[in-house]
Chains A and B, each alone.
Chain A
């Protein structure tokens, strides 16, 4: 452990009030490993980087400790810092060229640390500097240029050269890639790899999640100065445990996630610390977290509780009051009262039989808070049945259904029903043709909130209609479904599904009756609502293209069971089940099948794999035993011979 940060808190003082930039951050840098610190702007990432070099301004009040190879740097020790700064711990500052001195040629600036710290001669220093710059891909023609003559990428390389020239043990990179294109990012990646293999520790501070995933061994997700989750680097985009990590990953455009950018709902709190001077001269401080809209004087949000609760998709009453600490969950560390992203709905071994056909065969399905789960598969694979069982519109023959961990059979069905909104495949038939728009949207309120007055109900109907971008005037409210076009009816149905503010929205092919332009509008609306309301979405579709745009996770159904479940981006770029691959091939796109597949729908084997008759890889065991869903990387696959691992 080269650099150990222990419960470091930083408060920027500014007159009467103060801003909490970091709160009890603990982080260890291990030689030969790269740790990444990711989070939104203003989360305190850079403050931590600066703190590692002892460069925080005088207005910062620092608590906690930091040690470099056992030598304490904090509580602040100027002498210790002077010894390690730049020689042992170096940093590439944010904002590229702004950190360079505009009146000196770059070669002089790169050579300066050598002259300053190692007392090398000028010529010798320049030679070494030139060598370093060339290694970083900046050829000698540029060496005598001034900073303003360089491009952003070139300046970044100069900064990298300055930071690495003294061969420090700890390298801190603060947004090293923000000015770089993809090609130049490769150079930074190479540098990090080189540093790692030389046994150095790297702290990568970045909001570039894809770059972080590529380089970091461990990762800390920071929000408003608190570390929310510590996780293995590769898990960031595919297996986040904290709702914030999920939302952050959803906001980032990687090359493989096809889902539309989600963003994180709401705005972050301001963190203020109030200083009070007691009569004995001592000061004490306490923290307030403050909602952005309310000004400082008008009141304070509760001083305790999870910092993320106002934007969280799974916040409960306790989140607002109880302090949470990082705790170990699996191989992650999570700061969440609910131990990371919780399960909203769980189906265990549900089966459903229609006369002779088994529509569902002992299927498990788990929906987590705030995620969009897509069910795909061919017609008759049981998608709708599964979704309707999940929604409670259909009773399963066997198996149990848990909502927020509570068995629904034991719970009150009526009160659970209001937590789940359903949008049906055929919007016009899902509402009574004798109801006007007002009556359609109002119906859930009439069932569950019968105490409301007529005016209040109408007010709520207007609000929710406005949310789905429909007219709210009386003429529209008095219209009947047959007087509306399909897109409008579907949005009326959405309004109806949303009026009770459910936690789960089940949408069964909601756009199959719409033309592409209306579909685009409805889908955009649905996704926006999902993000803004923090809904969990179960989306059923046979359209893989649409599923790509919606799903965080994907479930592929075949013959009444799930054959592959996992992160949508992984499954769609690299399917594991031959059936998934066949689906993707059928859609076209980038998948080209080198050999023809058998597409005949033969009689399905009673015991074996449901894909048996169409599978090219089928062997004896496939005939004998039905494959079980087994964990594989970040997904679950039901196949005896799954297709190559995702890395291939």
Chain B
């Protein structure tokens, strides 16, 4: 999009750290199965063994290789977060822009729906749905997205209202730019920071939610998940397993959330030319 994108972004520590972590997690997500030394469902090893050369993170209580388990768990958590975050963002932007731009009855109806959803605690709905209907993780991700879009759309709507009044939008309308032209050229780009913030917040929330549900044992027990790993590790906490069994999933979950946040901050700086200037001055 911009000529100096790579040049500027590479000098930003947020981006460098975020990117480094993202590469690691992307590798784990996409290359997890081939990278894993063993089949994570293979229970043929000695249960609760400490780390060894063959098993860098040891073996869990069911006789499964923890490293292989971790790689599959990261894959599931990241997938859940991305799907849910993107869905929530898409719904939120669509509804926020419609409400803000068209106003009137559209605005009123959409925002009342958003208010109702904001009042419903997503975790309760999710726990009940998971417990009662046992849906697939993908269905749960979508249900979560349907519950958490309102905060995105509220922000988008407010910004839309303010941009709609700004001089450059009025100027474009005076020149003769149509409704769709202005939405496409002036409004959508102006909302970039909100997308990133919205996506980062929702993806974080979704990943955490996935871990929580798994921790509570609401997913299929054979599905690998960071939350479930933590849950099982905690049962054997009295044994000396915390660094090889408990710490890795906790660390992975924390770093995942940090990665999303760091990337959102740095990309926002790049996409906003004014912030980029400040960034350029700082690093110069």
Given contacts A417-B174, A417-B175, contact A430 B167 (CB under 8 A): yes
> A421: shortest Cβ distance to chain B, in Å?
9
Are A430 and B171 touching (Cβ within 8 A)? yes
Chain B residues lying within 8 Å of A414, measured Cβ to Cβ, are: 176, 178
Are A447 and B167 touching (Cβ within 8 A)? no
User: Which among A233-241, A336-344, A431-439, A539-547 touches the partner chain?
Assistant: A431-439
Chain A residues lying within 8 Å of B47, measured Cβ to Cβ, are: none
Are B175 and A443 touching (Cβ within 8 A)? yes
Are B168 and A431 touching (Cβ within 8 A)? yes
Interface centre among B167, B175, B176 (most CB of A within 10 A): B175
Are A434 and B190 touching (Cβ within 8 A)? yes
Chain B residues lying within 8 Å of A431, measured Cβ to Cβ, are: 168, 171
CA distance A414 to B277 in the complex (A): 36
Are B189 and A478 touching (Cβ within 8 A)? no
B177 within 8 A of A: yes
Chain A residues lying within 8 Å of B185, measured Cβ to Cβ, are: 432, 443
Q: Mark B28-43, 1 if CB is under 8 A from A, else 0.
A: 0000000000000000
Given contacts A434-B190, A480-B273, A482-B274, contact A426 B176 (CB under 8 A): no
A418 within 8 A of B: yes
Are B274 and A393 touching (Cβ within 8 A)? no
B172 within 8 A of A: yes
Q: Mark A461-501, 1 if CB is under 8 A from B, else 0.
A: 00000000000000000101011000000000000000010
> B180: shortest Cβ distance to chain A, in Å?
11
Are B168 and A430 touching (Cβ within 8 A)? yes
Chain B residues lying within 8 Å of A426, measured Cβ to Cβ, are: 167
> A623: shortest Cβ distance to chain B, in Å?
39
Are A444 and B175 touching (Cβ within 8 A)? yes
CA distance A413 to B178 in the complex (A): 11
Given contacts A429-B166, A478-B3, contact A422 B176 (CB under 8 A): no
**CB closest residue in chain A, given B163:** A432
Chain A residues lying within 8 Å of B186, measured Cβ to Cβ, are: 432
Chain A residues lying within 8 Å of B138, measured Cβ to Cβ, are: none
Chain B residues lying within 8 Å of A130, measured Cβ to Cβ, are: none
A399 within 8 A of B: no
Chain A residues lying within 8 Å of B189, measured Cβ to Cβ, are: 432, 434
> A415: shortest Cβ distance to chain B, in Å?
8
Chain B residues lying within 8 Å of A429, measured Cβ to Cβ, are: 166-168
**CB closest residue in chain A, given B169:** A432
Are A434 and B273 touching (Cβ within 8 A)? yes
Are A433 and B273 touching (Cβ within 8 A)? yes
> A440: shortest Cβ distance to chain B, in Å?
9
B173 within 8 A of A: yes
CA distance A434 to B188 in the complex (A): 11
B170 within 8 A of A: yes
Given contacts A429-B167, A432-B186, A434-B190, contact A447 B273 (CB under 8 A): no
CA distance A480 to B274 in the complex (A): 9
Interface centre among A414, A432, A480 (most CB of B within 10 A): A432
B242 within 8 A of A: no
Are B190 and A418 touching (Cβ within 8 A)? no
> Of B170, B175, B178, B274, which is within 8 A of A433 by CB?
B274
Chain A residues lying within 8 Å of B167, measured Cβ to Cβ, are: 424, 426, 429-430
Interface centre among B171, B181, B273 (most CB of A within 10 A): B171
Chain A residues lying within 8 Å of B272, measured Cβ to Cβ, are: 434
Chain A residues lying within 8 Å of B171, measured Cβ to Cβ, are: 393, 422, 424, 430-431
Chain A residues lying within 8 Å of B176, measured Cβ to Cβ, are: 413-415, 417-418, 444, 447-448
> Of A393, A418, A482, which is within 8 A of B173 by CB?
A393
A349 within 8 A of B: no
**CB closest residue in chain A, given B189:** A434
> A478: shortest Cβ distance to chain B, in Å?
6
**CB closest residue in chain A, given B276:** A480
Kindly identify, within residues 387 to 432 of chain A, every residue whose CB is under 8 Å from any CB belonging to chain B: 391-393, 413-415, 417-418, 420, 422, 424, 426, 429-432
> B219: shortest Cβ distance to chain A, in Å?
43
> Of B3, B168, B178, B181, which is within 8 A of A432 by CB?
B168
Q: Mark B143-174, 1 if CB is under 8 A from A, else 0.
A: 00000000000000000000000111011111
> A442: shortest Cβ distance to chain B, in Å?
11
Are B175 and A482 touching (Cβ within 8 A)? no
Q: Which 7 A-B pairs have the closest CB atoms?
A: A417-B176, A393-B174, A414-B176, A429-B167, A480-B273, A432-B168, A430-B167
What are 13 of the A-B contact pairs (CB < 8 Å)?
Answer: A392-B174, A393-B174, A414-B176, A414-B178, A430-B167, A431-B171, A432-B189, A432-B190, A433-B273, A444-B176, A447-B172, A447-B177, A447-B178
Q: Chain A: residues with CB nearer than 8 A to chain B?
A: 391-393, 413-415, 417-418, 420, 422, 424, 426, 429-434, 443-444, 447-448, 478, 480, 482-483, 500
A-B contact sample (6 more), CB < 8 A, given A417-B176, A429-B167, A443-B177:
A392-B174, A415-B176, A430-B168, A432-B185, A434-B273, A443-B175
